Structures are given as C-alpha cells and as structure tokens.
Structure 1
Amino acid sequence: MKLYELTGQFLELLNMFEDDEVDEQIIMDTLEGVECEIEEKADGYAKIIKNLEMDIEGIEKENNRLKARQKTFENRIKWLKENLKTCMELTGKRKFTTELFSFNIQKNGGKRKLVVDVDVKNLPKEFRISQPDVVNGDALRDYLKDNGYDGQDGSLHCEWCHLEPQGEGLRIR
C-alpha cells in the first residue's frame, strides 16, 4: 500500500523507477513528456520521492531482519563447532572420519595473536611505527572564521587552505 496516491503519468513514472530493467533514458524521456504546471509536477515528483523513500524503509527493515537471522545462524554454527570440539577433546578423539565427514582438531592458520603488555612508548623504537600528521579540520575552520579570512565571493581562505561554498539541496516536507 502506498502513502501517496499517484495517477496517470506519475503512476507510470513510479512503476518505471521501481523496475530495475527500465533504462534511465526512457525515464528521462517520460519525465520530459509530463505536461502540467510546475506546482503539479512538483507534487507529482514529491509523491514519487515519498513512495520510493517508503520502499527504501521497507528494504532496510528487511535487510536488518535478514542480517539478524544471518547472525543467529553464525552464532549457532560457532556454538555447534565449539560444542563438538569440546566433546572430541573430552573423549580424546582429536581426529576421526565418518561416512560423511572428516573431523580434526588443528591449529588455526595465520599469525598468532600478539598482545603488547606495556605502553607503546616503552617499546624499543624499532618496534614502533610513526603515524603521519592528520589535519584537524575543525580547528582550521575555526581559525579561518575567527581570523576573518573572507574572500570577496564570501569564501574563507588563507595561503594554505580554504572552505568551499556551502552546497544546496532540495528539502520536501
């Protein structure tokens, strides 16, 4: 069920937007072909946008549900493997084969986990990596504003940085 009722050309447009098979050029041509006043066209666009936003919300909820289900299965697999490993260790059978599967308790691959027991500053220098400087963007913005580095076009800049103009976007309420 859709929150916003669409009719005519706008309903056709919504169906095109929801169909992955429809080429963008066909949608653009249909958009250009809609003949009505700008206010009616804006209302039609807004209805399409709101319907698509509702579809996105539903998809996000379903994705979250499926991710939770996946996590549940992953946890159950982990639990089953740990339980089987414990049973094998208790019975002293670290390796055996059945008609369907082979079972073996073995060391994990890859590097062993490293735990540093002291503060990094106390490690010898050859075991430390220097980190590169990182720009403090908030401090630079404040510096530009506080020190009046205004450009003629309203931009803020100095010899080593500048602020881009604020972007604009359409808000539909």
Structure 2
Amino acid sequence: MSSPNIIMFIRHGEKPGENGPPHGINHNGEHDSHSLSVRGWTRAGALAGLLARGPSVLHPNIVAPERIYATKSTHEYMSKREVDTVTPLAHRLSLHIDDSLNHDHVEELAQSIIDGPQPTLVAWHHGSMTDVLAKFPISNVGDIPKHWPEDRFDLIWVLSRKSEDHDYQFTSVNQGLLEGDLLSS
C-alpha cells in the first residue's frame, strides 16, 4: 500500500481568552471554554473554502483532503478545537473526521497516515506537531521550526513529494484568510 504524496498539518482556529473575552462557543452558539472563539469559527469556515477548492497558483500543494485527522478530546486534554476547526470542511467534502487518537499518540497517527495513499489533513495539538513530522522522511528537515509558533493559527505545514520514491519536502504556507493573518512565516 502506498502512502500519501501530500500531508497538510494545521493548528486549531483561535481559542478563547484565558480569563475573559473572547469567549469560546460551541457549534450551537453556547458558551464552551474548550471550543473555538468566534474568530476561530470564522477561520474554520474560511479553511473549508480554501481546502475544498484544492490547488491554486499561490498554493499548489494545498489540495482537497480525502482523509482528515483531529486530536481526540480526553479528560486530560479537553479541547474540542481541533475537531471544531475541521468540521466545516468535513461537512463540505462529506468526509469522516478520525478523532480516535489523542495528542500524545504520535507514532500511531504517523502509521495511520502512512497506511493510506489519500491526501491527508491533520488538525493536531501544536505542542506535539513537530514530533509528528519527525516520523516522516523529510529532505529539508532543517527548515522545520523547532516548535509551532505559539501565537500562530494561520499556518499550514505541508509535506509533499513527487512520488513514494522521494522524501517529503517541508513547506510552511500562510493561510492569509483573515484580517491580521501574516503574509510570511
């Protein structure tokens, strides 16, 4: 079985403030500190538009995913933000969100990704994102930041390759979807 030629990684959309506004709300509009802020939901919708359209001149390696993974909410890690972020896209593309793994199951996630050839989107806890990338053969591993930037919700980290005979190439793509998004990494 072949593994995907394109794997995209995102952090969840913007989260609620620690001690006040902006507040988190769930998909029913109810207060939920473990869900996205209004800006986060706006990003989730904008990402659905960007990713469902597939490649563009500006983003040739941003494709419509055929598989979506998101961090599982657990008693210890109660965030629903990763699933919230990809839900509009999953609905738009009629895809299932695989949220069976929690953020420290890096090895299992990488193996599951490798087990299928489809373009894949991963919405994962930013604290373990570089650990996930370390499980793939990457030709320019030195270009990968040591950590996902703490204040960035507007990036897509992409692993792409021409064929299974090649290592992946890492690129960081700025989403440029919302006002205030940075235009460069």
Question: TM-score, normalization: structure 2?
Answer: 0.17
Higher strand residue share: 2
Higher helix residue share: 1
